[in-house]
Structure 1
Amino acid sequence: MTTPTAPTTPTAPTTGSLRVPGATLHYQVRGDGPLLLLIPGGTGGAAAFDNVIDALAAEYTVAAYDPRGISRSTLDDPEADQQVAEHADDAFRLLQLLSPGEPARVFGTSSGAITALHLLTAHPESVERLVAHEPPVVEVLPDAAEHRAFLATVQETFHAQGLMPAMAVFAAGLQKAGATANGDATPPRAAAEIELPPQAAARAEQTMAGLPYFLGRIVPSFMGYAPDIRLLEELADRLVLAGGQDSHGELPYRPAAYLARQLGVELSHFPGGHTGLTTHPEQFAEHLRKALST
């Protein structure tokens, strides 16, 4: 039985950079113990984990990084297309650097969870346990064709009208998908109803700066990605699929629930919705700690 660790004063992380093909990755490391690699989604980068990293660092050596093209991780070619396999290779190279020869625990959320799923199937020897929180791999769903058409509309709007109209179409489509799946019984909570912690609110400027790259090059390739279900079945004993307690039926939740049924594993429910990491950091960290050690 693990003895609870007394709270400690947070220490400054060790930061570094890693050259990978086509990019330079910025990463930070904190804590002591077995390696836990955190892969963020969206445009938040490593800062998305600011409110949970200290709780996890009491038990793990926690590494978080900015995915290529996000925040401090720069691309050699700013216009380069982005592929899930390439992002997963970045994660693998970080594992080789920080935990050479030893498998690590990995957590990914949203698009970061898609990266993590590919990492698991491409390099299973490097992953001891993976928690994938709401990976929006809509290609696994029976109604994938509808989502393909929706994503095409988002891209058409982006190129014809610009970022904010496209984001409006994107957000409305995610809500519509959730309402349809729920029979309009439990519509998603509006963003205005959620009070964000001060650190999260302060990251809004970075989030906005990264949106053109995210919407234009991450969303199409990542949400068009189809994981290898056969390989995931073989590796299901080290995979935890997670969904938000408040996001039942919403589009990012549905692939996680569907994959869990396909693989014959239980779907783990984490606090909050798709952004529970931000809105419920303390409870989220505790659920993640348990999921990693089960």
Structure 2
Amino acid sequence: MITTATLDVPGAHLYYEVRGQGPLVALVGAPMDAVPFAPLADLLAADHTVLTTDPRGINRSRLDDPTQDSTPELRADDLSRLLTHLDAGPATVLGSSGGAVTALALAQTHPDQVHTVIAHEPPLVNLLPDAARINADTDDYIATYLAGDVVGAWAKFMKVAGIELPEGALEMMFGGERDPQQVEDERRWFAHEMIHTDRWRPDLSALRSIAARLVIGIGEESTGQICDRTSRALTDALALKPTLFPGDHTGFADHPDRFFTRLRSVLSR
């Protein structure tokens, strides 16, 4: 059974879902909403209480001010309020992509609320030696998107991210008629979220103090991609070894069964 509800927080109304019974696991994305986590959440719910949520401003989590920027600190505060509301912690938090940055921000500010943080491919660009170039490229593709060239912006994004797609794939994915909610969420990501996530600077001293509770995950098929590089830079900074998960940046959604098996081995440590 899935329980759905909305929690009012400062400036936003957070949609969330709860499944199962047992130790609490939160699955967190940004800008990704709760939907792609559902297959993994269903598997975990056999012996865990599983929290999934739409991050503020995305899909069903509405904002009082739609122009508000989404920062890791705001999203971490939202997650903290959800965990307090559920009163079932401390939690294991699996965050992927921008959700991994959210999870790391939560670990810094509310370490008492987390048992383990699994940060899967956080895009912490400022940890890289070529951050200035990447940030300039990011500014360029955001400007391209906001000027109305959606396919062109995604082409630039994929090049920066190191992700290769078959010829014509971008036109198929972003060039035709699309779901209005997907377009709204995508525009919000480009306009109000991406820079704040990618350029967030973790407090490495604070994270080192809880390093025993941190797992930095990388997709086995992400080699050479930007989030492979940022994740390895973070493990180096924290003197940790990366943990490999099936698939690439979206392995939890593309291969939920295999990802679940690897995740269970991490949870049992």
How does the TM-score come out when normalised to structure 1? 0.84
Look up the match of 1:21: 10
Is the CA contact (8 Å cut-off) linking 2:158 and 2:164 kept in structure 1?
A: no
Aligned to 2:133: 146
- TM alignment of 1:111-190, pairs within 5 A: 111-175=98-162, 188-190=163-165
Equivalent position of 1:210 in the other structure? 185
- Identity value in percent: 39
Q: Matched residues in 2 for 1:204 and 1:272: separation?
A: 26
Shift of 1:81: 1.7
Residue identity matched to 1:68:
R
Unaligned runs of 5+ in 2: 170-177
Normalising by structure 2, we get a TM-score of 0.91
**Which secondary structure state, in structure 2, belongs to the residue aligned with residue 51 of structure 1?**
helix
Alignment size in residue pairs: 261
Q: 1:227/1:152 Cα in 2 relative to 1: closer, same or farther (>3 Å)?
A: same
- The answer on whether the counterparts of 2:92 and 2:114 sit within 8 Å (CA) in structure 1 is yes
- Cα RMSD of the aligned pairs, angstroms, is 2.0
Q: Per-residue displacement from partner, 1:217-247 (whole Å, max 9, x unpaired)? A: 1111111111111111111000000000000
How do 1:36-55 and structure 2 match up within 5 A?
Answer: 36-42=25-31, 44-55=32-43
Unaligned 5+ residue runs, structure 1?
1-11, 176-187, 195-202
> Structure 1 counterpart of 2:8, which letter?
R
Letter in 2 for 1:271: P
Aligned AA (1:218): E
Please say if residues 144 and 152 of structure 2, whose CA atoms lie closer than 8 Å, have aligned partners that are also in contact: yes
CA distance 1:248–1:221, change in 2 (3 Å): same
Distance 1:205 1:246 in 2: 31
Corresponding residue for residue 175 of structure 2: none
How many Å apart are 1:49 and its aligned residue?
0.8
Q: CA deviation at 1:158?
A: 2.4
SS of the residue aligned with 2:226? coil
Match of 1:30 in 2: 19
- Indicate if the aligned counterparts of 1:163 and 1:212 stay in contact, CA closer than 8 A: no
Between the aligned partners of 2:241 and 2:222, the Cα distance in structure 1 is 16
Aligned to 1:257: 232
* Residue 164 of structure 1, CA deviation: 3.2
Aligned to 1:226: 201
Counterpart secondary structure, 2:67: coil
Q: Report deviation, 1:193.
A: 11
In the alignment, which residue of structure 2 is the partner of 1:104?
91
The residue that corresponds to 1:84 in the other structure is 72
The SS at the match of 1:45 is coil
Match of 1:225, SS state, is: coil
